[in-house]
């Protein structure tokens, strides 16, 4: 237990250093500090990977079960997506929103229960390592798409050129939608083996389906009906709000088979 917490706290420290570097970049316009922040975030992501590996070895099952584990995994993946896709030339609105999302979750994680609990026998399945990562990775893509969409909407209203973001946002939405659909299908198969039914209209299932429908609509409207990227960005924002209800709202405020400890 001690070693995985050491890696967790170390990762949090490196994220904090990255945030400080980013703050210097924004307020003092020192371009080199943007790369410094990305480098510290990369170190934090690597340390977070060690945390996940050590926690898995210590508790004997994938650390994707408790609220602490699942929220850390989400923020960790989003920070990795941020490092891969966000460059210095991207709008500060995009950078700041993405940073606020994953660092806000990390700060929250500092106050969550970090104790490892015995694994529920129903969760002792190889589907845990397939269903959960695919869904959370889709959420990470949606999180970055949300940041881009907010920037896109603001820029469009101000008449600024943002055409370079159209393809990235569309691809993130498509990628996230496919992964979420895959996660829903694998979750249904897992539910059948665990509870004897593929679908029960559990709040988590219902809101996951609503989120999938919204993002699928964004894909279809753009790919088939050729709506303007501005409106796809609007739909993406709505989808992200539905995703927040799916991920956080159900877990914290609704009775569900999928509620995290």
226 φψ region: left (φ > 0), alpha (ψ -120 to 50), beta (else)? left
**Alpha-carbon span 58 to 47, nearest angstrom:** 16
Q: What percent of the chain has pLDDT over 90?
A: 58
What lies within 8 Å, CB to CB, of 136 at 6+ separation is 64, 70, 73, 74, 77
Contact between 143 and 78 (Cβ < 8 Å) = yes
What pLDDT digit, counting tens, does each position of 32-43 carry?
Answer: 898 899 999 999
How far lies 117's CA from each of 52, 57, 108, 155, in Å?
A: 15, 14, 20, 47
Distance between start and end Cα atoms, the chain: 18
Task: Please check whether residue 169 is in contact with residue 145, taking contact to mean a CB–CB distance below 8 angstroms.
Answer: yes
pLDDT digits (tens, 9 = 90+) for 212-231: 999 999 999 998 888 888 99
Nearest to 94 by CA among 78, 73, 106, 109: 78
Contact partners, residue 153, CB within 8 Å, separation at least 6? 230, 233, 234, 237
Helix (H, G, I), strand (E, B) or coil at 226: coil
Q: How far is CA 60 from CA 2, 49, 72, in A?
A: 15, 16, 18
Decide if 176 contacts 141 (C-beta within 8 A). Answer: yes
Q: For residue 143, with 0-12 CB atoms within 10 Å meaning exposed, 13-18 middle and 19 or more buried, which class applies? A: buried
In this predicted model, what pLDDT tens digit does every residue of 159-199 receive, in sequence order?
776 777 888 899 999 999 999 999 999 999 998 887 888 88
Predicted pLDDT of residue 191: 87
The CA distance from 249 to 210, in Å, is 14
pLDDT higher than 80, residue 78: yes
Residue 87 burial by CB count (10 A; 0-12/13-18/19+): exposed, middle or buried?
A: exposed
Rounded to 10 degrees, the C-alpha dihedral 239/244/249/251 comes to: 120
Mean pLDDT, residues 97-110: 92
Element holding 8 (H helix, E strand):
helix 2-28
Q: What is the pLDDT of residues 2-58, one digit of tens each?
A: 788 999 999 999 999 999 999 999 888 888 898 899 999 999 999 999 999 999 999
- What pTM does this model have? 0.91
Torsional class of 87: left (φ above 0), alpha (ψ -120 to 50), beta (otherwise): beta
Q: Summarize pLDDT for 116-155 with one digit per residue, the tens.
A: 888 888 788 889 999 999 999 999 999 999 999 998 898 8
Per-residue pLDDT at 200 exceeds 60: yes
Query: Does pLDDT of 94 surpass 90?
Result: no
């Amino acid at each position: 237990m001690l070693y995985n917490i050491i890696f967790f706290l170390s990762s949090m420290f490196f994220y904090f250093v990255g945030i400080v570097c980013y703050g210097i970049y924004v307020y003092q316009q020192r371009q080199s500090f943007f790369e410094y922040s990305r480098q510290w975030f990369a170190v934090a992501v690597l340390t977070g990977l060690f945390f996940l590996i050590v926690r898995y070895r210590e508790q004997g099952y994938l650390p994707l079960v408790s609220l602490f584990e699942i929220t850390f995994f989400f923020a960790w993946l989003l920070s990795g997506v941020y490092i891969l896709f966000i460059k210095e030339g991207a709008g500060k609105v995009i950078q700041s929103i993405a940073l606020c999302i994953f660092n806000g979750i990390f700060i929250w994680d500092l106050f969550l229960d970090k104790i490892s609990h015995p694994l529920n026998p129903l969760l002792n399945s190889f589907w845990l390592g397939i269903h959960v990562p695919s869904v959370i990775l889709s959420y990470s893509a949606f999180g970055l798409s949300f940041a881009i969409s907010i920037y896109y909407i603001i820029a469009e209203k101000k008449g600024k050129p943002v055409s370079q973001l159209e393809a990235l946002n569309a691809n993130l939405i498509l990628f996230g939608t496919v992964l979420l659909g895959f996660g829903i299908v694998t979750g249904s198969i897992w539910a059948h083996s665990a509870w004897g039914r593929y679908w029960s209209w559990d709040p988590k299932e219902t809101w996951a389906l609503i989120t999938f429908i919204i993002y699928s609509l964004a894909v279809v409207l753009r790919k088939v009906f050729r709506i303007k990227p501005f409106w796809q960005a609007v739909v993406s924002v709505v989808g992200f709000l539905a995703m927040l209800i799916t991920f956080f709202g159900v877990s914290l405020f609704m009775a569900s088979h999928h509620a995290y400890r």
